[in-house]
């Protein structure tokens, strides 16, 4: 019973999936895909906009880094100028120290020569003074030695002060020079660090640009797909309209009303009805089985004919029923023919009452159903009473 009901549902479901509904499904599928792609497109566009904003920020940061590098390079150039000046000052101071040293050595040398001269003549300073021929000469000699000593003392003192100044200044400049060189080295290291950051920044920007291009390509592909789907949707709508117009023409060819021919329909096949419509008790299975139609026992290859004008809407294969043909008689009335072989019709073809659509398969069984307004109907109440 359950198996028969499932088969019945399958037949009814197959019936519902007509060509027109397939068009609707295809249109809905295309619209759903378009909707999904539009959402993805919006998401990718937002992501691209975000990347563009990020790209601008990263570009600004790169410009800032480059400015820092340029400033550091300018500062190093300034350090080089200072170092050059300091080194010149040190050179000048060294030369001044050397000149002072020479002067000091000369004063010492002159004083030594004077002392040696007196010593060689075996004359002391007193002897030299008291050997003067006159008081004036003695005073003159005293004054001479006094002045000479004072000059030497002043020169030595001045040279000593100058030398001390030079040493102090040399130390100051050496210290400043060392600090300037250290600052230059720090700035050079900073330039190296900034250059590394700049390269990283450039990589970030290249990555962003690559991602932007990938997303842009994805957006272009999505737009292309949306256009293709939109064209497909329009084509399906146009095909559906053509189909509906064609179906309308085919339905217009159907003469009479199926519903008004109850009890007047011709029989689909020559043979004996062996199982009627509705629930039937099966003594072997000890259960009630619901038969959605009627079953015939007939000869193999017996011709199967259409019971009323209509349009072939479905040709399919159903397990347990074999090849099955469903004919639409308009106004939600259908007839179902199963266990067929050697079909003479195609889907969407118009058929007339009495036209052969195929032949009974070799198992000699034939199953026939009538559907009306989504209900299973008893075929025996629709067929004429010739039997």
266-307, pLDDT tens digit by residue?
999 999 999 999 887 767 666 777 888 999 999 989 999 999
Can you read off the two tokens belonging to residue 284?
């072997």
Structure tokens at 378: 């008893």
Structure token digits, residue 240: 């559906």
Q: Count CB neighbours of 1 within 10 A.
A: 14
Average pLDDT of span 148-164:
73
* Cα–Cα distance measured from residue 57 to residue 86, given in angstroms and rounded to the nearest whole number: 43
Structure tokens belonging to residue 283: 């003594």
Is pLDDT above 60 for 124? no
Contact (Cβ atoms closer than 8 angstroms) between residue 333 and residue 374: no
- The pLDDT score that the predictor gives to residue 3 is 45
CA distances from 17 to 240, 246, 314, 315 (A): 14, 18, 8, 11
pLDDT of res. 242? 73
Give CA 16 to chain center in angstroms. Answer: 43
Burial class (CB in 10 A: 0-12, 13-18, 19+), 306: buried
**């079909």: which residue's tokens?**
343
Per-residue pLDDT, averaged over 61-84, amounts to 87
| Residue burial 326-363, b: 16+ Cβ < 10 Å; e: rest | bbbbbeebbbbbbbbeebebeebebbebeeebbbbbee
Residue 325, SS3 per DSSP: strand
pTM, two decimals, is 0.44
Segment 220-228 shows an average pLDDT of 77
pLDDT digits (tens, 9 = 90+) for 94-108: 887 888 788 778 777
Rounded CA separation 105/107 (Å): 6
């Amino acid at each position: 019973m359950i198996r028969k009901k499932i088969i019945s549902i399958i037949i009814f479901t197959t019936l519902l999936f007509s060509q027109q509904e397939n068009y609707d499904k295809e249109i809905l599928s295309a619209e759903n895909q378009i909707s999904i792609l539009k959402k993805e497109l919006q998401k990718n566009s937002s992501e691209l906009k975000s990347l563009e904003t990020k790209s601008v920020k990263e570009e600004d940061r790169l410009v800032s880094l480059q400015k820092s590098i340029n400033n550091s390079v300018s500062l190093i150039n300034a350090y080089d100028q200072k170092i050059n000046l300091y080194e010149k000052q040190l050179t000048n101071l060294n030369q001044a120290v050397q000149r002072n040293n020479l002067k000091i050595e000369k004063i010492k040398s002159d004083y030594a020569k004077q002392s040696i001269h007196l010593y060689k003549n075996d004359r002391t300073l007193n002897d030299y003074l008291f050997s003067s021929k006159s008081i004036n000469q003695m005073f003159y000699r005293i004054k001479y030695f006094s002045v000479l000593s004072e000059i030497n003392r002043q020169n030595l003192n001045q040279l000593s002060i100058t030398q001390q100044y030079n040493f102090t200044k040399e130390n100051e400049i050496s210290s400043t020079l060392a600090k300037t060189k250290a600052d230059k080295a720090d700035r050079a290291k900073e330039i190296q660090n900034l250059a590394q950051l700049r390269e990283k920044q450039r990589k970030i920007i290249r990555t962003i640009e690559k991602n932007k291009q990938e997303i842009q390509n994805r957006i272009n592909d999505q737009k292309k797909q949306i256009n293709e789907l939109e064209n497909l949707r329009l084509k399906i709508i146009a095909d559906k309209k053509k189909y509906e117009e064609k179906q309308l023409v085919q339905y217009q060819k159907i003469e009479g009303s199926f519903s008004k021919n109850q009890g007047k329909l011709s029989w689909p096949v020559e043979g004996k009805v062996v199982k009627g419509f509705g629930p039937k008790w099966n003594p072997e299975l000890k259960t009630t089985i619901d038969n959605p139609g009627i079953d015939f026992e007939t000869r193999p290859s017996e011709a199967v004919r259409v019971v009323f004008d209509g349009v072939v809407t479905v040709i399919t294969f159903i397990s347990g029923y074999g090849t099955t043909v469903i004919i639409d008689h308009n106004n939600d009335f259908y007839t179902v023919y199963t266990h067929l072989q050697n079909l003479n019709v195609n889907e969407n073809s118009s058929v007339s009452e009495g036209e052969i659509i195929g032949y009974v398969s070799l198992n000699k069984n034939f199953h026939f159903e009538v559907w009306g307004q989504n209900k299973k109907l008893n075929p025996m109440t629709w067929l004429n009473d010739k039997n």
